[in-house]
Amino acid sequence: MERALNNFRGFSLIELMITLAVIVVLLTMGVPTFSTVVKNSRMATATNELITALNLARSEAIKRGLRVSVCKSADGATCAAVNGWDQGWIVFTDDNENAAYNSGSETLLRVFSGLSPALTLTGNGQVANYISYIANGQSQLVSGAFQAGTLSLCDDRSGNVGRDLVLSSTGRVRLVTDVACP
């Protein structure tokens, strides 16, 4: 019993080319959508990390009965006058109430590393460099005045894709989504 050679079936070159063309079209449509999902995920992660830091600082200030501050930090060990919050930040007990971490007398509670290079996080006015909470959970400048302001998070996209974290004078943080980014 011999098998005829024409009983073996496979793909012709034309069928293979059509299949590859369909795959290319599907990938071309799917990759930009996946890129948007990744960027949205980065934005959500950065937002959640900052809210976590602020909630930690506020709860520790209430629990410990003393000032706890969050400041911009590029190295995770000192407060720095870097351009934005996107290089990272630290949460620490602020025993001397100057909003600058002193490793000799103050406790470093948590270090948050820098954000993705595509993200920018900037604070306006009173929250440009630090956010500080006192024992009753209110945000307060080192001068004693109440502290309020907005931290704006944007990525490399333009349009209404940004997020604002609005700090009220009571120390609570409110999230505003779909904010215009430059």
* Structural fold of domain 36-181: minor pseudopilin epsh fold (3.55.40)
Residue 91 clears pLDDT 60, i.e. is over it: yes
For the chain, give every domain's residue range: 36-181
pTM of this structure? 0.81
User: What distance in Å separates the CA atoms of residue 113 and residue 129, rounded to the nearest whole number?
Assistant: 16
How confident is the model over 117-149, as pLDDT tens digits? 999 999 998 999 999 999 999 999 999 999 999
Sign of CA dihedral 138, 111, 52, 153: positive
Mean pLDDT, residues 150-155 taken together: 94
